[in-house]
Amino acid sequence: MTLKYYFDLLSQPSRALKIFLSVTKIPHESCQVALRKGEHKQEPYLSVNRFGRVPAIDDDGFKLSESVAIVRYLSNKYSVPNNWYPKDVKGQAAVDEFLEWHHLDLRLGCAMYFQTRVLKPMLTGQPPSEKSLQMFTERMNTSLDNFENLWLGDGRPYLTGNQISAADIFAACEIEQVAFGGHDPTKGRPKLGVWLERVRKDLSPHYQEAHTFLEKFRTASSKL
Amino acid sequence: MTLKYYFDLLSQPSRALKIFLSVTKIPHESCQVALRKGEHKQEPYLSVNRFGRVPAIDDDGFKLSESVAIVRYLSNKYSVPNNWYPKDVKGQAAVDEFLEWHHLDLRLGCAMYFQTRVLKPMLTGQPPSEKSLQMFTERMNTSLDNFENLWLGDGRPYLTGNQISAADIFAACEIEQVAFGGHDPTKGRPKLGVWLERVRKDLSPHYQEAHTFLEKFRTASSKL
């Protein structure tokens, strides 16, 4: 049985995991779930993931959601090169530390900005209120400053050392999204700029392929 | 060298990890960091955790933050009974799925309610606005309903099956906090009520010891 991967490239963890599957060369069948049609909240998808979110996997009947849990499961089960998710205890803990930190910091900060600045206005036809846009822009900038100063502050080329890992993939996908939403995350953050360019290049062409779909938002957001 | 554990029992992940350390009998030195005095934002603590949050560990010079990352590190390094964090790939993935899910769902829902209903009024002397209290109460209730229906819906005694795991510890600490904040999370949620009572009993006396400090909030919140 082939591993089935359920995703929509509109979702940043879906993109991150798609890139992870590509760079680690894990054979999988791509199963698209169209968020814009509400397919994630209906059967048959709810039988794959009862939470009605993407991404998820079905590995010969074993169903699992939550992108970070899936990275760990795949790294435990498949032959994944050590740099992406290290096998040694401390190296793995360092990647875990970022993946756990990012949920309520980088991910929340960037996702709320993108929703407020781009997604909601596109869905409702109404521009965001100045107050909420200002609040979410500030939160995002705080997260990005933390990223620049606390994660990239020591000058290492990647988030957890000298090798690219799953942490870099997840971080880049969150940060790239705000760039597509009309905000330059690298402005005033030179380390983030150098790091993002390095990660884009290392993950080429999978990274660019996963972000093709977001191009439409760059155009749309410039008109809002 | 002894493992140093830095925490404040005012923080729910600090309580969860303290209970985890107790039930797994991992030898450690307790290092309290007083949030109310701002010790988490100052040296010497910032040299342990540059993010200025609790909990964190220092394991013979290896410093690690993020409670879920710490659970994994300790389970990899120490002899932790299998039920708390399973060694088999699928069992571990099931615990991971909950721990990842909880950040932006149960944790965000419960923590924002507690902050709005109890912490901010205590710090500022001002009651919460009705609008924000209503919004965060609704979010918390949605998370608790998801917990009742999606995690406990199939009638298993614990979150991931027939044995208690780290997932149950983290979930109970989040949910217990709203109970201390003056909201009964079990009302209208019979499965949650039975599960919470079972977990409290299984984790006794460590669970009760970790929550002693929160008793003052039960009294304080009843006066707000």
Q: Which residue of B has its CA nearest to A62?
A: B90
Distance CA B91, CA B160 (A): 8
In whole angstroms, how far apart are CA B76 and each of A101, B10, B86, B119, B185?
19, 27, 10, 36, 34
Residue B122's pLDDT band (cuts 50, 70, 90): confident
Q: Which of A80-94, A176-190, B5-19, B162-176 has the lowest mean pLDDT?
A: A176-190
How close B148 gets to chain A, by Cα (Å)? 13
Q: Do A71 and A143 meet the contact criterion of CB atoms below 8 Å apart?
A: no
Mean pLDDT of chain B: 93
- Overall average pLDDT of the B12-16 stretch: 96
What percent of chain A has pLDDT above 70?
Answer: 96
In whole angstroms, how far apart are CA B86 and each of A156, B22, B25, B161, B206?
33, 17, 16, 12, 21
- Overall average pLDDT of the B171-194 stretch: 93
Give the closest of B62, B69, B93 to A69, CB-based. Answer: B93
pLDDT over threshold 60, residue A224: no
Helix (H) or strand (E) holding A98: helix A89-102
Closest CA to A122 of A188, A203, A35: A35
- Across chain B, where does the E strand assignment appear? 3-7, 28-32, 56-59, 62-65
Residue B223's pLDDT band (cuts 50, 70, 90): low
Q: Which of A140-154, A206-220, B7-21, B179-193 has the lowest mean pLDDT?
A: A206-220
CA angle A20/A102/A112 to nearest 5° reads 105
Residue A173's pLDDT band (cuts 50, 70, 90): very high
Closest CA to A154 of A89, A94, A85: A94
Q: Which of B67, B77, B89, B107 to mutate to test the interface with A (most CBs of A within 10 A)?
A: B89
Residue A122's pLDDT band (cuts 50, 70, 90): confident
Q: Which residue of B has its CA nearest to A111?
A: B104
Question: Residue A6 half-sphere exposure, CB side, CA atoms within 13 Å?
Answer: 24
Q: Do A176 and A211 meet the contact criterion of CB atoms below 8 Å apart?
A: yes
Mean pLDDT of chain A: 93
- Specify the DSSP class assigned to residue A161: B
- Overall average pLDDT of the A164-173 stretch: 98
- pLDDT for position B215: 77
- Overall average pLDDT of the A18-25 stretch: 98
Q: Do B96 and A68 meet the contact criterion of CB atoms below 8 Å apart?
A: yes
Distance CA A6, CA A57 (A): 6
pLDDT digits (tens, 9 = 90+) for B15-36: 999 999 999 999 999 999 999 8
Distance CA A96, CA A71 (A): 10
Q: Which residue of A has its CA nearest to B143?
A: A51
Distance CA A66, CA A57 (A): 9
- pLDDT for position A156: 94
pLDDT digits (tens, 9 = 90+) for B106-121: 998 998 998 898 888 8
Q: Which of A97, A143, A159 to mutate to test the interface with B (most CBs of B within 10 A)?
A: A97
The more confidently predicted of residues B118 and B157 is: B157
How close A166 gets to chain B, by Cα (Å)? 14
Task: Mark yes or no for CB contact B66/A108 under 8 Å.
Answer: no
Residue A100's pLDDT band (cuts 50, 70, 90): very high
Q: Coil, strand, or helix at residue A3?
A: strand
- pLDDT for position A222: 60
- Overall average pLDDT of the A89-93 stretch: 97
Tokens representing A202 are 């290392």
**Phi, psi angles (nearest 5°) of residue A99:** -60, -35
Task: Mark yes or no for CB contact A93/B76 under 8 Å.
Answer: yes
What percent of chain B has pLDDT above 90?
Answer: 76
Residue B70's pLDDT band (cuts 50, 70, 90): very high
Distance CA A66, CA A56 (A): 7
Collect all residues with Cβ–Cβ distance below 8 Å to B59 and sequence separation of at least 6: B1, B3, B4, B73, B77
pLDDT over threshold 90, residue A118: no
Chain B residue numbers touching A90 (CB-CB < 8 A): 62, 73
Task: Mark yes or no for CB contact A100/B67 under 8 Å.
Answer: yes
Distance CA B59, CA B70 (A): 11
Helix (H) or strand (E) holding A65: strand A62-65
Task: Mark yes or no for CB contact B69/A146 under 8 Å.
Answer: no
- pLDDT for position B103: 93
- pLDDT for position B143: 95
Q: Do B65 and B56 meet the contact criterion of CB atoms below 8 Å apart?
A: yes
Helix (H) or strand (E) holding B108: helix B108-114
pLDDT over threshold 70, residue A177: yes
Query: How far, in whole angstroms, is CA B57 from its chain's centroid?
Result: 16
- pLDDT for position A219: 62
The more confidently predicted of residues B73 and B114 is: B73
Residues of A with CB under 8 A from a CB of B: 50-51, 62, 64-70, 72-73, 76-77, 89-90, 92-94, 96-97, 99-101, 103-104, 107-108, 146, 150
Q: Which residue of B has its CA nearest to A73?
A: B93
pLDDT over threshold 70, residue A96: yes
CA angle A66/A70/A73 to nearest 5° reads 140
Q: Which of A31-35, A122-126, A196-200, B29-33 has the lowest mean pLDDT?
A: A122-126
Residue whose entry in the numeric block shows the structure tokens 């939470």: A51
pLDDT over threshold 90, residue A13: yes
Closest CA to B91 of B165, B25, B173: B165
Q: Do B221 and B180 meet the contact criterion of CB atoms below 8 Å apart?
A: yes
Question: Residue B89 half-sphere exposure, CB side, CA atoms within 13 Å?
Answer: 13
